[in-house]
Amino acid sequence: MNTPVTCPGIEELRARIRRLESAAGRRRLGLPFGIKAIDQHLPGGGLALGALHEVAGGSNDTIHAAAAALFAAGIAARTKGKVLWCLTRPDLFAPALAQAGLMPGRVIYVEAGDEKSVLICFEEGLRHGGLGTVVAEVARLSLIASRRLQLAAESSGTIGIAIRRWRRPAEAADFGQPTASVTRWRVSVLPATPLPVPGVGRPRWLLELIRCRAGVSADFEVEACDAKGRLALPSELVHGPAAKDIGRRRAAS
């Protein structure tokens, strides 16, 4: 009887695949956000190291990606080592990054002229391995390009963050296209935490985890990065009964 299962060649291949997968699984460590509601949604208890993540702005912010840039800066601030930031448009304001905890001495900016050079620099940075985080502002990210970036990130253990930023709001439909990134986030601005006096309070974001490999998507309402790059839950939610399952409830609705 011909049983392919007992064929020694195939058995050996299967063993090799198991070994490869477990090796990849072992490296799946996470950078925790420090907020239980978010961390328990992410496999590994945080944002996976050695992986590609995508961040985009919501509504009008798809063009400027200001909140998305600060979100990325907050993540980069909590990693160790230098940060490479690949740009196409030089409108990023470094003092704002410093206020999100990313000190100017740590960030190296690359002003690559076009999308293609940005992707080349992005991959080169991810492959190097000596950097803490590599951030790139890209509009188009094809499946093949993202696969290359993901493999480069896996080989070095560096976090790669692709800030998706388009020229026109209509082009943002591109964000639905499949890519090889591990998580995909959308950061939209919300009215700031109200203050008892006139003025603007701590900014708030609606953080949508649209896609997460080996996890479920969810929405969170958070307060923006503090001076150390940490997010926080809005204070009226932390102790209330709603705080425990806010993520789950939003995900279900």
Partner 1 sequence: MVLTLDAAARRAGLRIGMPAAKAQALVPGLIMRDADPAADAKALDRLALWALQRYAPVAASDPPDGLVIDVTGAAHLHGEEDSMLKDMVNRLASSGLAARAAIAGSWGAAHAFARYGAQATLVITAGDSAKAILGLPIAALRLPKTMVEDLSVLGFTRIGELAAKPRAPLALRFGPELGRRLDQAMGRLSEPIDPVRPPDFNEVRRVFAEPIGAPETLARYTGKLTDKLCEALEAKGLGARRLDLLFHRVDNRIEAIRIGTARPVRDGARLTRLLCDKIATIDPGFGIELMRLAATLAEPLAPKQMVSSLTEEPEADISHLIDTLANRIGEQRLYRCAAVESDMPERSVQKIAAVAPDTGETWSGLWPRPARLLERPEPIETLAVLPDHPPVSFTWRGIRRRVTCADGPERVFAEWWKHDAELIAVRDYFQVEDEAGERFWIFRAGDGEDAATGSQRWFLHGIFG
How far is 96 from 81, CA to CA, in rounded Å? 19
Q: Which is nearer to partner 1, 4 or 196 (CB)?
A: 196
Contact 150, 51 (CB under 8 A): yes
Residues 76-115 interacting with partner 1 (rule: CB under 8 A): 81-82, 84, 90-99, 103-113
Contact 115, 136 (CB under 8 A): no
User: How many CA atoms lie within 13 Å of 123's alpha carbon, on the beta-carbon side?
Assistant: 15
Query: Which range touches partner 1 (CB under 8 A), out of 32-40, 185-193, 234-242, 243-251?
Result: 185-193
Alpha-carbon torsion (63, 216, 224, 47), positive or negative: negative
**Contact between 136 and partner 1 per CB under 8 A:** no
Task: Say if residue 77 is exposed, middle or buried (CB neighbours under 10 Å; 0-12, 13-18, 19+).
Answer: buried
**Contact between 139 and partner 1 per CB under 8 A:** no
What's the min distance (Å) between Cβ of 13 and partner 1?
Answer: 33
Contact residue for partner 1 among 120, 151, 232, 251 (CB under 8 A): 120
Q: List residues binding partner 1 (CB under 8 A).
A: 59-61, 64-71, 73, 81-82, 84, 90-99, 103-113, 117, 120-121, 124-125, 128-131, 187, 189-192, 195, 198-201, 203-205, 224, 227
